Amino acid sequence: MEPWEDQETELSEDAAREKDNVALRLIFVLVILGLAAILYGVFGRRESIIVYEKDQPAIRSASEVLQEHSIPLNTADTYQLQLLPDIGPELAGRIIAYRESHGPFTAVEELLEVEGIGNVTLSRIRDYLTLEGPESTS
């Protein structure tokens, strides 16, 4: 075998390895992009909550519902509480647990006693809450 034939074989193996590395990098990037798309679908579309009401148009966002209706703090279920900004299933569960163990809220500010709700969250949700039963603010 001639010396240049050995070099050609080595170059071919190096090229094949590089080709494999590029393919692996491409697969890695595609997996990361796929995960990002999934996470965006799960966490990034909070405004796309669909609410069906008896006498209203079929599809409305959470912000549209909150502009027209207050959330009754003392009777709201987890789904209603999750319409509020910054309130997810876990925090909604804590609000209900607090209400069940301490009785009905007497003031919206009592929410500050619920773990996970501070002044900033309270200021964002205060205008959407009422202590009475379901009512329309329009």
Say whether pTM exceeds 0.85: no
Do 107 and 63 share a domain, yes or no? yes
pLDDT digits (tens, 9 = 90+) for 17-68: 888 888 888 898 888 888 877 776 655 555 545 555 566 555 555 666 666 6
Do 58 and 38 share a domain, yes or no? no
Do 21 and 59 share a domain, yes or no? no
Q: Which of 124, 126, 84 is nearest to 105 (CA)?
A: 126
Do 62 and 24 share a domain, yes or no? no
Integer-rounded Cα radius of gyration of the chain: 28
Instruction: Give domain status of residue 138, yes or no.
Output: no
N-term to C-term CA, the chain: 91
Q: Is the dihedral of CA 83, 67, 121, 132 positive or negative?
A: negative
Q: How many residues does the chain have?
A: 138
